[in-house]
Structure 1
Amino acid sequence: MAYRKLLVPVIGTAAGEAALATAFMAARIWQAHVHGLHVRIDPRDVAPLAGEGLSGAMIEEMMAATERESAERAKSVQEMFARYIAEHGIPAVSDPAAAFSAGRMTASFGTVVGREEDVIAQQARLADLVVIAHPEAGDDVSTSDALHAVLFDSGRPVMVTPKTAPATLGTRITVAWNGTAESAAAVAAALPWLERAEAVRVLHADEYQRRGPDAAGLIEYLAWHGIKAESAQFKPLNGSVGAGLLASSAEFGADLQVMGAYSHSRLRQLILGGVTRHVLEHAMLTLLMCR
């Protein structure tokens, strides 16, 4: 059992529903447990944003309105989660022993009050895999912050789902390899997927390679795990390494791309652009990332 517990933030948007469906697709493969987590806004966090010139009564009313909206949203996403597992016949189980005895995919749901990015990153540290919605998640602008918090602060592998749920997952896999510690961590986290894949292709390019082992070294390493992988050199597309990676994955028919995240700092990528940023913004397939 490579993965026993998956964490998926439940946010109630279309992208969030795609992430939920992808999480259960992965859980079905590994007969794992999916814990849906919804983070409610703490009304006390609204007060510092209220600004000057507002009376205490006005601030209290803002906090009360925030609490009402937060409660309504939490109820809505919990009902959506419950409806999903009921429609798919997934047992609701919160006890690990009961989940093991069930011998099949199970699910649970929890709500926590706090800052979304902090809570998710902390809760993720006790999950085998975090499945999170595409950062362009409609009106839920906080999702991007949650994604980056999990990548940087959880120490766990992150599966970033496309805007719509994929038809397959992990059958044809590309590995974006550049020799960095981040890409090595991603490969280690992805080994269970790579071992069961029908086809694996290692993507590399001179423009993408950093100091570290080359693609041939990775091919040999994977062979020690009984994984037969082929190697393919890709070219940047319109000067973009990230676009070249995604085009190469599409050409291979990949339904999962494994890669390290932010070999350069996130700030540098925000200012200058970068491979991780481009892939996160434009990926149409599921990503498995580590930082």
Structure 2
Amino acid sequence: MLNNIKNILLPLNGSGDLESVMGIALEFAKRFEAHLSAVVVGSDPSEVATLAGEGLSAGMVSEMIDAAANEAQRRAIEVRAYFDALMRQNAIERYSPSSASSPPGEHVSASLDVLDGSEHDAITWRARLADMTLVPFLATDADPRASETLHAILFDSGRPLVIAPPKPPKSVGKRIAIAWNGTPESSLALRCTLPWAKTAEAVQILTSPTYQRRGPEAEDVLAYLRLHGISATARTFEPIDRSVGSGLLTAAQEFEADMLSMGAYSHSRLRQMILGGVTRHILENANLTVLMSR
């Protein structure tokens, strides 16, 4: 069986409920006998100073920086305690790839690094050497940098991004819906989905005339999957209220999918922010695990 998931990057900003993303992280780590590389990023004093704006004294800005640093430290301590407790409960070995001379062997391992806020860009660099990055769902009250991190990984890592749903799912990867529109982005997402699709109970290709671009059609995708020993079906869906994203999520729900794979931002991110788009709709409304590639 193809198994190229050995390093799972797990950025944790400490905001919101970690139960869903950590449950999926453990599930994937055990399924692929992979290493969990968790990262927590603290506050960046330069960001706080920029947000402070004009009209504040140096003393007031300093107080804001200290308060942000203390909050970030508190959040990092909470995340570390939660992470450590889960690793102990699941008897998972702690292992630091950067300091160890040899891998831990064919079993699950984990590490957690706390980075200074100025090292925020380093998450994207780490993602380039991860087989996938798993992030929490973007809650409306989440740290604004969580959205920045998600999009930075999506655009700059060259690796798949998996987004946990808002609530812990009953399963992940048993029934997989693959959104297909013939683009290079959907092609990469298809390739990245193979490790899950090979062990899935059912796989379905979802296409729509409104969503399709110039490129291979659904029948070509089915033939490609058969070469990998994967049996799948195909279904055409229609937009709902002129929303392709809504139609896609409804089709995935009717298939009883617990995982959706798709290419992201075939149109520019700015265009989708202004006019809306499939990627934006999925990011804001999905209630299942989503794999995105760009």
TM bucket normalised to smaller? over 0.9
- Could you tell which deviates more after superposition, 68-77 or 124-133? 68-77
Please say if 1:152 is aligned against 2:140.
Answer: no
Alpha carbons 1:15, 1:138 under 8 Å: kept: no
Q: Name stretches of at least 5 consecutive residues in structure 2 with no aligned partner.
A: none
Match of 1:57 in 2: 59
Amino acid at match of 1:86: R
Question: Identity over the aligned pairs, expressed in percent?
Answer: 44
Q: Give the superposition deviation at 1:117.
A: 5.7
Q: 1:117 to 1:267 in 2, by over 3 A?
A: farther
Change (3 A) 1:124 1:45: same
Given that residues 170 and 255 in structure 1 are in contact (C-alpha distance below 8 angstroms), is that contact kept between their aligned partners in structure 2?
Answer: yes
Note the alpha carbon deviations across 1:191-211, whole angstroms, 9 max, x for none.
111111111110111011001
Contact 2:179–2:262 (8 Å) recurs in 1: yes
Unaligned 5+ runs, structure 1? none
**What is aligned with 2:34?**
32
Q: 1:194 aligns to what?
A: 197
Q: Structure 1: how far apart are the matches of 2:101 and 2:275?
A: 49
State the shift of 1:13 in Å.
3.2
TM-score (structure 2 length as normaliser)? 0.93
Residue pairs, 1:42-53, within 5 angstroms: 42-53=44-55
Name the CA shift for 1:226/1:5 in 2 (closer, same or farther; >3 Å): same
The size of the alignment, in residue pairs, is 290
Structure 2 CA distance for aligned equivalents of residues 50 and 140 of structure 1: 17
Counterpart residue identity of residue 285, structure 1: L
Give how far 1:98 is off.
5.4
2-structure distance, mates of 1:264, 1:25: 33
**Partner of residue 179, structure 1:** 182
TM-aligned CA deviation for residue 26 of structure 1: 1.0
**Relative to structure 1, is the Cα distance of residues 201 and 73 closer, same or farther in structure 2, using a 3 angstrom cutoff?**
same
CA distance in 1, matches of 2:184, 2:112: 34
Q: Which of 257, 270, 275 does residue 278 from structure 2 map onto?
A: 275
Tell whether the 8 Å contact from 2:177 to 2:261 is kept in structure 1 after alignment: yes
**Counterpart residue identity of residue 70, structure 2:** R
1:209 aligns with 2:212: yes
Q: Is the 8 A contact 1:246 1:279 kept in 2?
A: yes
Query: What is the RMSD of the two structures over their aligned residues, measured on CA atoms?
Result: 1.7
Bigger mean CA offset, 136-145 vs 118-127: 136-145
Q: Residue type matched to 1:67 in 2?
A: A
Kindly state the Cα deviation for residue 285 of structure 1 after the two structures are TM-superposed: 0.6
Deviations for 1:260-291, whole angstroms, at most 9, x for unmatched residues?
00100011111111111111111111011101
